[in-house]
Amino acid sequence: MRNKHTEQSENKGGESLKSKIIKFFNNSRKNPFSYKELIKKLHLVRDKDKKSLKDLLEELVIEGAISRDKSALYSFSASTDDLITGRVDFVNPRFGYVIPQGDGDKSDIWISSNKMGSALDGDIVRVSVFKRSGSGSRGTKSAEGEVVQILERKRTSFVGRIEVSARHAFVIPDGRKMHVDIFIPRESIMGAKTGEKVLVDIVEWGSREEKSPTGKVTEVLGMAGENETEMHAILAEFGLPYEFPTQVIQAAQEIKEDITEAEIKKRRDMRDTLTFTIDPEDAKDFDDAISFKYLENGNWEIGIHIADVSHYVHPGDILDKEAYRRATSVYLVDRCVPMLPERLSNELCSLRPNEDKLTFSAIFEMDSTGKIYTEWFGRTIIHSNHRFSYEQAQEEIETQEGSLVKELTILNTLAKKMRAQRFKDGAISFETIEVKFKLDEKGKPLAVVPKVRKDAHKLIEEFMLLANKKVAEFVFNLKGKEKNTMVYRTHDAPNPEKLATLSNFAKRFGHTVILDDEDNIAKELNKLSDEVEGKPEQNVLQSLAIRTMSKAIYSIQPDMHFGLAFKHYSHFTSPIRRYPDVMAHRLLQHYLDGGKSADKDYYIDACEHSSAQEKLAAEAERSSIKFKQVEFMQGSIGVEFEGVVSGVTEFGMFVEIVSTKCEGMVRLADLDDDFYEVDMENYRIVGKKNKRMITLGDTVQVIVKSTNLERRTIDLELVKNKDGNKDGNRPANKNIDRDALDFGDSSQSPKR
């Protein structure tokens, strides 16, 4: 039974009394105050708060946050400058970390949950550091502290399942790092029934004594477990919209479809040039097309044509504001949540066959070696002659039969040469195995199948990469030392420490990877990729290698893209689904028209916003995949599978099932043949008596024990050997000593 909600002892802004005291002294550094003066200054009226004030003042004196003189007057202490500001990483219900901002030399600060106050995961807080403790799970000697002030809330609304009783309700949040339930007064449940998913706004935050914040239901999403409910819940969980405001839809509907002669005269007319699209079978928005023309000198004119969204969406209008807010389309397992209304994404801007369409193009003259002789950028009008699915284009390439087989073969040959040159120049060739679901009409998963990338996919990818690269280079080279403002896609080189860890880890599998020379990192990683292909350790080592990579971001700084080995790179080819591409189009046209460098401040903010939205969209996509994986595995309770240990935590180890690519957890509490200790530094668990070790990358046999759709979790248990012991790692990997692992987010080449 849940604790009865008690009276909150903090003010409604989410600020505890202790935080309020700290803030008061920070703003009143010159004057000392008596206890009675502080009662008035802090507007305390309840006896409970007056008593707490006395205790907290003494506590803050001991911590050094404030000082007390001989006359019992309290004042600001210089030591408050030692308070550290950082972001909360609430890893589990028992403790979390505060990751300091700004200073990379400061280690993360370990915070017990009873010293978090009302801080939640992602909040920006100020922390009082009071002592040093042993090693934290991050592998460093962590300072220990207490949250004294919450500066910024990451979020004020949450999604979860509601439980309603006679007098009140509680919402159990979906987020794994939200460790407290939300109290809902009876009058604020908005008619929700037990078991439904709801969206909740926080109206009063919890205190150190009473953890549960108070909220009100703002939307009832539907019954938990139903596909439509869960997909909407995932979007709401990450603050992503799932429908357009009425006025935005109306604005899109009012756009005229006709292309005027005056508009055509402003553009390069490409309607007589062979043009076609290659997209997924079920695609509805075609934002890129390829044109092909034979030239008299034996070379070819190849055009990459992109939907001219900027013709229809103008800076500051209602469509632009909505597109900026979203910044990206979101791709869940069973749907696309578009950045633009369908009137634009699927109709006006979609490069559908046998229709005149307005485009922004990059056109190149190339020879059979892939050498570029001329390049042209600007607005065009095209007429697509044919729409290929990837499968149809692939069939023509493989069978050498079809209406455009000659042109497709030439383009495919050029794409292979450009791809080979990229890798020669230092591009990273690692690719993770992706899966897709076959769903029934209600969204229930029927099968999990790997996505297969063939020549047709890679053909389109290479020409899109070419356009993105050349647009970035063109804008960069327009001016001398003071470059024009542009939206670039940048990707930093991997962290040297992570590379060293990967090198040591790969060595345990018999692979020598020398990663201490920045000029040879890509070559060594690609060599490792070739060596592990088809071997048991392939998935683990490739995944870990990708995790060494930084996360690609949008920036106005013309820094290189390490993963692609491009000195300058932009996103130009998908304005229907990415707002940075819309900005790139506008900027490019502005400079083609002779305009001066655009306002940097606006584009700095826009790049940061777009990067943040992209991250949220990726997290939502992963959550939808996880939900479908759990739903799919519901039918496999009690079934045995082969798996690979994909992660180790304090509670157990994650295992990825080989046949379905679904990940579940083997909990330490379920290992009854011995007491197992977690060795986080070496990413393994070790039996205290039998010394059995199970390590990241080991192959194990597991049985699906249970699934939980609400938490999106799969519980597994190890299969017992004939001797009655739990199955551990395969003999070939026994007693391998792994080095510490600490990998960040992965970054891969752009994909459509």
Among 353, 373, 355, which residue's Cα sits nearest to residue 363? 373
Residue 576 counted as domain residue = yes
Which is it for the CA torsion 614, 746, 654, 702, positive or negative? positive
- Residue 445: strand, helix, or coil: strand
Query: Are residues 88 and 37 located together in one domain of the fold?
Result: no
Residue for token pair 């080189």: 493
- Residue 563: strand, helix, or coil: coil
Residue for token pair 């777009």: 610
Q: Which residues pair with 668 in a beta bridge?
A: none
- Residue 388 makes CB contacts below 8 A (sequence gap 6+) with 276, 277, 278, 279, 396, 456
Residue 229 identity (one-letter amino acid) = T
Query: Are residues 276 and 358 located together in one domain of the fold?
Result: yes
Which tens digits make up the pLDDT trace of 367-378?
999 999 999 999
d(CA 553, CA 188): 40
d(CA 654, CA 661): 12
**pLDDT at res. 731:** 33
- Residue 358 makes CB contacts below 8 A (sequence gap 6+) with 259, 263, 267, 307, 308, 311, 379, 380, 381
Query: Are residues 365 and 455 located together in one domain of the fold?
Result: yes
Which is it for the CA torsion 699, 705, 707, 713, positive or negative? negative
Successive 10-residue mean pLDDT values, the chain, 752 residues: 36 59 72 86 83 84 75 71 82 88 74 88 85 46 77 89 94 89 94 95 77 91 92 93 95 96 97 97 91 97 98 97 97 94 96 97 97 98 97 97 97 97 88 82 89 93 98 93 93 86 84 83 87 78 81 94 95 98 98 94 95 95 94 95 88 90 92 86 84 87 92 90 51 26 30 38
Identify the domain containing residue 197 by its residue range.
Answer: 157-224
Tokens of 590: 């502005």
Residue 746 counted as domain residue = no
Last residue of a domain, one of 79, 99, 126: 79
Phi and psi (nearest 5°) for 700?
-135, 160
Residue 743 counted as domain residue = no
Do residues 486 and 570 touch, judged by C-beta distance below 8 A? yes
Among 129, 164, 173, 176, which residue's Cα sits nearest to residue 148? 129
Query: Are residues 437 and 565 located together in one domain of the fold?
Result: yes
Query: Are residues 541 and 677 located together in one domain of the fold?
Result: no
Query: Are residues 614 and 713 located together in one domain of the fold?
Result: no
d(CA 431, CA 529): 9
What is the SS3 string spanning 66-81? EEECCCCCEEECHHHH
Among 174, 161, 147, 145, which residue's Cα sits nearest to residue 10? 147
Residue 360 identity (one-letter amino acid) = F
Residue 693 counted as domain residue = yes
**pLDDT at res. 516:** 78
Which tens digits make up the pLDDT trace of 264-299?
999 999 999 999 999 999 888 899 999 999 999 999
Q: Is the pTM of this model over 0.85?
A: no
Transcribe 646-670 into DSSP letters.
EEEETTEEEEEETTT--EEEEEGGG
What is the SS3 string spanning 326-355? HCECEEECCEEECCCCHHHHHHHCCCCCCC
Last residue of a domain, one of 483, 515, 547: 547
Query: Are residues 585 and 692 located together in one domain of the fold?
Result: no
Tokens of 701: 């046999």
Among 562, 400, 587, which residue's Cα sits nearest to residue 483? 587
How far is the CA of 498 from the CAs of 50, 188, 344, in angstroms?
51, 48, 44
d(CA 220, CA 199): 6
Transcribe 259-294 into DSSP letters.
--HHHHHTSEE-TTSEEEEEE-TT-----EEEEEEE
Domain CATH code at residue 64: 1.10.10.10
Query: Are residues 542 and 686 located together in one domain of the fold?
Result: no
Phi and psi (nearest 5°) for 444?
-80, 130
d(CA 474, CA 482): 15
Do residues 379 and 358 touch, judged by C-beta distance below 8 A? yes
Long-range Cβ contacts of 435-444 (<8 Å, 24+ apart) = 435/625, 435/660, 435/661, 437/333, 437/334, 437/628, 437/632, 439/333, 439/334, 439/628, 442/227, 443/227, 443/228, 443/231, 443/334, 444/227, 444/631
Residue 64 counted as domain residue = yes
Q: Is 748 exposed, middle or buried (0-12, 13-18, 19+ CB in 10 A)?
A: middle
For the chain, the domain total comes to 6
Q: Which residues pair with 663 in a beta bridge?
A: 656
CA 547 and chain centroid, separation: 13
- Residue 283 makes CB contacts below 8 A (sequence gap 6+) with none
DSSP 253: H
d(CA 749, CA 561): 10
Last residue of a domain, one of 152, 169, 203: 152
Query: Are residues 72 and 197 located together in one domain of the fold?
Result: no
Residue 111 counted as domain residue = yes
Give me the torsion for CA of 449, 450, 455, 457, rounded to 10°: 90
Residue 739 counted as domain residue = no
The secondary element (H helix, E strand) that includes residue 185 is strand 182-185
Q: How far apart are the first and last CA of the chain?
A: 48
Residue 210 counted as domain residue = yes
Domain CATH code at residue 112: 2.40.50.700
Query: Are residues 219 and 133 located together in one domain of the fold?
Result: no
Radius of gyration of the chain measured on its C-alpha atoms = 29
Q: In the chain, how many H helices and how many E strands?
A: 17, 33
**pLDDT at res. 103:** 54
**pLDDT at res. 739:** 22
d(CA 645, CA 655): 4
Among 237, 185, 183, 189, which residue's Cα sits nearest to residue 206? 183
Among 676, 681, 639, 677, which residue's Cα sits nearest to residue 660? 639
Which tens digits make up the pLDDT trace of 699-731?
899 999 999 888 889 999 999 754 455 555 443
Residue 650 identity (one-letter amino acid) = E
**pLDDT at res. 209:** 58
Pairing of β 488-490 and β 553-555 = antiparallel
Phi and psi (nearest 5°) for 20?
-65, -40
- Where on the phi/psi map is residue 410: left (φ > 0), alpha (ψ -120 to 50), or beta? alpha
Q: Which residues pair with 131 in a beta bridge?
A: 144
Query: Are residues 30 and 99 located together in one domain of the fold?
Result: no
Instruction: Give the strand order in the sheet containing 300-307.
Output: 268-269, 372-383, 356-366, 300-307, 288-294, 274-279, 386-389
Which tens digits make up the pLDDT trace of 1-42?
333 333 333 443 345 687 778 778 766 766 788 888 898 888
Query: Are residues 49 and 145 located together in one domain of the fold?
Result: no
- Residue 656 makes CB contacts below 8 A (sequence gap 6+) with 539, 643, 644, 646, 662, 663
- Residue 526: strand, helix, or coil: helix
Domain CATH code at residue 719: 2.40.50.140
